Structure 1
């Protein structure tokens, strides 16, 4: 079946957001992948675009052992069988992180399955509708930078505070989900300021 133009445009926009997201999370993404036009996207994936053709694996810039998969399941409502297929792929490749881009949602059993494997596999679920526009490009969203463990330690020493005394950001906050933040991490937020040029705050992920 030939993919409709509307569907192609939708998948093109979703894939573009995913590439920007991976780049912002410090995974290796080429300029070509970041700047791909819709025409190039169609040339690459063709008229008979199957969602799973968009699935990719990426490596972190400064740590080749840290890899992530992005899966685009074909079925509208993802079940346990699909989750198990993906975790088998991850196990074979020794990859513990994945992003699942689902059309609508997961079955209740699939949700349970993801929470049961969460000690071994970190699987994030995004609905396609959430990725049509990159939340980071919204005018009200300031720049976020994840601190390394070393930077976090320095920050806490400099201000003589415990991490739990910092202002908080919820793990399910849309921007925290975009960056794939985990509980216990600290993120630096940089806002433009008319007086100081920029205004920096820190948030502890809970």
Structure 2
């Protein structure tokens, strides 16, 4: 774009913002963003995730998966950095309602995979109550996320305080230091977005550090309930 400054001189500006509008499919963009967040989430939980996977550009993602990605091709598994026997499987469910037959079908596919210790299901639609009950068939924890909840990594929001998951040893040291019981700690729901991000279980404790101008340096602890 061209124009004039206050002195009448011609000024050549950079390209308009409209030039940066994504002209690819919304579907591929959603898959790309959610996949990146899941990879970051697993890395933050201590799983082995290559930086090259997280840093994959939207353009490269589309080169690999196209404008209409196949949900099955986006499935992947990874092991925990400190315990290779702990393996997490991530599965994308297709659009539409997830019913009992879908959950039973997945169970039959992975029933013989003894190395699995957890499963993350990413949904694009609703899941029936009967399908949720069927998750009890799995011998390990099954976590459910809506794809729309993964388009942004909530831990990167500028207004979000820093969360650090305490080890059991650190938790006991904290309780001993302040001479309190677990139930006396402030609570955080297991359904809270941060608790879900880190896959926290009831009884785990997180250290919350605030870094705003007003609350800078303030630290508190919350127990998952």
**TM-score between both structures, scaled by the size of structure 2:** 0.82
In structure 2, do the counterparts of structure 1 residues 165 and 61 end up closer, same or farther at CA, with 3 Å as the change threshold?
same
C-alpha distance 137-84 of structure 1, shift in aligned 2 (>3 A): same
Name 1:109's counterpart in structure 2. Answer: 130
3-state SS in 1 of match to 2:183:
helix
Contact preservation (8 Å) 1:102, 1:125: yes
Kindly indicate whether residue 41 of structure 2 is the aligned counterpart of residue 21 of structure 1: yes
Residue 172 of structure 2 is matched in structure 1 by 153
The offset of 1:93, in angstroms, is 2.0
Contact 2:78 2:89 (8 Å CA) reproduced: yes
Name the residue aligned to 2:194: 175
Distance 2:145 2:213 in 1: 35
Q: In proportion to residue count, which structure has more strand? A: 1
Q: Counterparts of 1:49-88 in structure 2 under 5 Å?
A: 49-88=69-108
2:203 and 2:81 map into 1 onto residues whose CA distance is: 22
Contact 1:193 1:199 in 2 (8 A): no
Deviations 1:153-194 (Å, cap 9, x if unpaired)?
211122211111111000001111111111111111111165
Rounded to whole Å, the distance in 1 between the matches of 2:79 and 2:154 is 23
More helix by share: 1
The structure with more radius of gyration: 2
Correspondence for 1:92: 112
List alignment gaps of at least 5 residues for structure 2: 1-23
Contact 1:90 1:96 in 2 (8 A): no
Helix, strand or coil for the counterpart of 2:209?
strand
Task: Provide the residue aligned with 2:211 in structure 1.
Answer: 192
Offset at 1:45? 2.0
Deviation at 1:53, TM superposition (A): 0.8
Paired residue for 1:32?
Answer: 52
2:210/2:219 contact within 8 Å kept: yes
User: Number of matched residues?
Assistant: 201
Provide the rounded CA distance (Å) in 2 between the counterparts of 1:19 and 1:191: 25
**Unaligned 5+ residue runs, structure 1?**
none
